[in-house]
């Protein structure tokens, strides 16, 4: 399922998570991969603490980051689709 602006998303997978300074390092035993989330990537991950849509994430980022809406939506969708590809987020329901 392709993630769109109003797709409700939640974190997926039983990850091991460790904050290192301002970054987040995560290990997925099942896939054997480590992930590092920095800056805006970490902010998006933190916003997925509760199920959220990309649109809602962009609303939140617009308040904290100086970015125009179209660029924000484009970049957030691309990032979330990457996370989906890694099995780290899923569409709710």
Contact positions toward other proteins, by CB under 8 A?
Answer: 16, 18, 20, 25, 27, 29, 32-38, 41, 78-79, 82-83, 85-86, 88
Instruction: Extract the tokens encoding 90.
Output: 């899923």
Please report how close the Cβ of residue 2 comes to other proteins at its closest, in angstroms. Answer: 16
Pick 20 or 63: Cβ nearer other proteins = 20
DSSP 16-77: EEEEETTEEEEEETTTTEEEEE-HHHHHHHHHTTS-B-HHHHHHHHHHHS---HHHHHHHHH
- CB of 3 within 8 A of CB of 48? no
Please report how close the Cβ of residue 4 comes to other proteins at its closest, in angstroms. Answer: 18
Please report how close the Cβ of residue 89 comes to other proteins at its closest, in angstroms. Answer: 10
Pick 36 or 93: Cβ nearer other proteins = 36
């Amino acid at each position: 399922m392709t993630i769109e602006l109003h797709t409700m998303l939640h974190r997926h997978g039983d990850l091991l998570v460790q904050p290192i300074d301002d970054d987040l390092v995560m290990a997925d035993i099942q896939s054997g991969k480590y992930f590092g989330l920095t800056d805006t990537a970490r902010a998006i991950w933190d916003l997925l603490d509760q199920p959220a849509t990309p649109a809602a994430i962009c609303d939140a980022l617009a308040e904290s980051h100086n970015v125009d809406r179209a660029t924000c939506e484009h970049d957030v969708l691309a990032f979330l689709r990457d996370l989906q590809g890694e099995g780290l987020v899923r569409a709710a329901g």
